[in-house]
């Protein structure tokens, strides 16, 4: 079998005027960037730096003109452009994300930005479909590039840490924020492949972990049994909105990005509803600048189309506001943004080293380039500090 999350258009949409306009905007945008954009005719743009090679200029600019951000990623998938180090080449673009397009042309956003498909709304049924498209691709795919804990979120590195040690440090940081210890009743929203639930159970806690991924549940249960904590870990195929019970600690690591703006109130209401008096919440969330969130919140980008359908990043002010509405307040926080850049760089290196293994699983070359771009694009976001990731400790206000 050959597998991709979405089907790449066989040929770029043809619109000579839009392609012409896209080329003008692109040339204007890169003229002062610390990159080298090279063309087949030997011409170059930029102030010098990591090289981005345009292989098929006509196809590249037609894709860019058709769907801007989405087209840029699709052009990489199709091989219309390439780079020896795509993360390095993309970082200068990410650093100037807000100003790449000249201010007078920002008003044209509504004509070039794709709109979010209604089918990707994170209703209970929609959320299951969205999660299935990514997390149920293949457990073996994720095993190919994650560390042995199968942790798919930012690590927290200290000197001497390898990726595995850094992932356990991150998990311990969240458990500490939530006050998890022997005897704690813990609710985890978003199981992943069970690493956090296992770590909490090894502290002596009893864990109920919620997931809506069938594949993740299966492997998480197997891993909990192998770790000898199956009696203290229950993995439930349950939507967070249906969570029941009362818990001393609620933990959730990089799941909130999949909730969607429409359902942020329901997510935070769940945290408050299930938290016992005096309980704590440990939350890890990827964030973007608040002003950029306000501008892009209704747009549909490449990551949403090909990687995380229905996903929307939050900002720190939004997290604080949503928490306050349900009587919670942030009492502790730490930023791990640079650590995520390092995590993604290691994942990308591991994925590239495992390309033959990935192909043997049935994933085609376009899928390989898709994931290469996804990991590099994300790394660039954190390297430039356009993106950040935070660990939050929350408690009831008052």
Distance between CA atoms of 320 and 330, rounded to whole angstroms? 7
Q: Do the beta carbons of residue 361 and residue 138 sit within 8 Å?
A: yes
Q: Look up the pTM and report it.
A: 0.94
Is 40 exposed, middle or buried, given 0-12, 13-18 or 19+ CB atoms closer than 10 A?
A: exposed
**Whether residue 41 is found in the same domain as residue 107:** yes
DSSP-derived 3-state class of residue 38? strand
| Burial of 361: CB neighbours in 10 Å, binned 0-12, 13-18, 19+ | middle
Phi, psi of 237 (to 5 degrees): -80, 80
* Confidence (pLDDT) at 6: 62
Which CATH number goes with the domain that contains 200? 3.40.50.150
Q: Do 97 and 144 reside in the same domain of the chain?
A: no
Tell me the C-alpha distance between 8 and 243, whole Å: 37
Q: Domain end: 82, 112, 142, which one?
A: 112
pLDDT of residue 298: 83
What token pair was written down for 219? 């492997």
pLDDT (tens digit per residue) in 135-148: 888 899 999 999 99
Query: Which domain, by its residues, includes 28?
Result: 16-112
**26 and 149: one domain?**
no
pLDDT at 5: 53
Instruction: Judge if 141 and 35 occupy the same domain.
Output: no
Average pLDDT value for residue range 227-236: 98
Number of structural domains, the chain?
2
- Decide if 180 contacts 205 (C-beta within 8 A): yes
Residues 176, 203: one domain?
Answer: yes
Burial, 356: exposed, middle or buried (Cβ in 10 Å; 0-12, 13-18, 19+)?
exposed
Convert the pLDDT of each residue in 164-211 to its tens digit.
999 999 999 999 999 999 999 999 999 999 999 999 999 999 999 999
């Amino acid at each position: 079998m050959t597998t991709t999350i979405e089907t790449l258009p066989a040929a770029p949409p043809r619109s000579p005027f839009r392609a012409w306009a896209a080329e003008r905007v692109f040339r204007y945008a890169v003229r002062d960037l610390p990159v080298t954009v090279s063309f087949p005719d030997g011409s170059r743009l930029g102030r010098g730096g990591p090289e981005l090679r345009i292989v098929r200029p006509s196809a590249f600019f037609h894709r860019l003109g058709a769907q801007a951000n989405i087209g840029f990623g699709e052009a990489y998938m199709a091989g219309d452009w390439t780079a020896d180090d795509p993360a390095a080449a993309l970082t200068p673009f990410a650093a100037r994300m807000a100003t790449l397009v000249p201010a007078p042309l920002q008003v044209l956003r509504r004509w070039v930005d794709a709109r979010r498909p209604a089918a990707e709304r994170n209703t209970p049924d929609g959320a299951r479909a969205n999660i299935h498209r990514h997390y149920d691709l293949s457990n073996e795919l994720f095993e190919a590039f994650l560390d042995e804990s199968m942790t798919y979120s930012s690590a927290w590195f200290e000197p001497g840490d390898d990726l595995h040690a850094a992932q356990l440090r991150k998990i311990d940081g969240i458990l500490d924020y939530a006050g998890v210890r022997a005897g704690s009743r813990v609710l985890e929203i978003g199981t992943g492949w069970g690493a956090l639930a296992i770590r909490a159970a090894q502290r002596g806690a009893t864990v109920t972990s919620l997931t809506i991924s069938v594949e993740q549940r299966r492997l998480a249960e197997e891993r909990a049994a192998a770790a000898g904590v199956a009696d203290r870990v229950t993995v439930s195929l349950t939507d967070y909105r249906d969570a029941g019970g009362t818990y001393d600690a609620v933990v959730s690591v990089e799941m909130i990005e999949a909730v969607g703006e429409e359902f942020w109130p329901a997510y935070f209401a769940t945290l408050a509803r299930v938290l016992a008096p005096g309980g704590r919440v440990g939350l890890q969330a990827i964030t973007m600048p608040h002003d950029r969130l306000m501008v892009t919140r209704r747009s549909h980008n490449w990551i949403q189309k090909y990687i995380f359908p229905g996903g929307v990043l939050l900002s720190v002010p939004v997290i604080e506001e949503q928490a306050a509405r349900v009587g919670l307040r942030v009492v502790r926080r730490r930023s791990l943004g640079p650590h995520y850049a390092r995590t993604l760089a290691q994942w990308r290196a591991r994925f590239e080293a495992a390309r033959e293994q990935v192909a043997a699983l049935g994933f085609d070359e376009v899928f390989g380039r898709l994931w290469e771009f996804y990991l590099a694009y994300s790394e660039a976001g954190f390297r430039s500090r356009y993106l950040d990731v935070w660990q939050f400790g929350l408690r009831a206000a008052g």
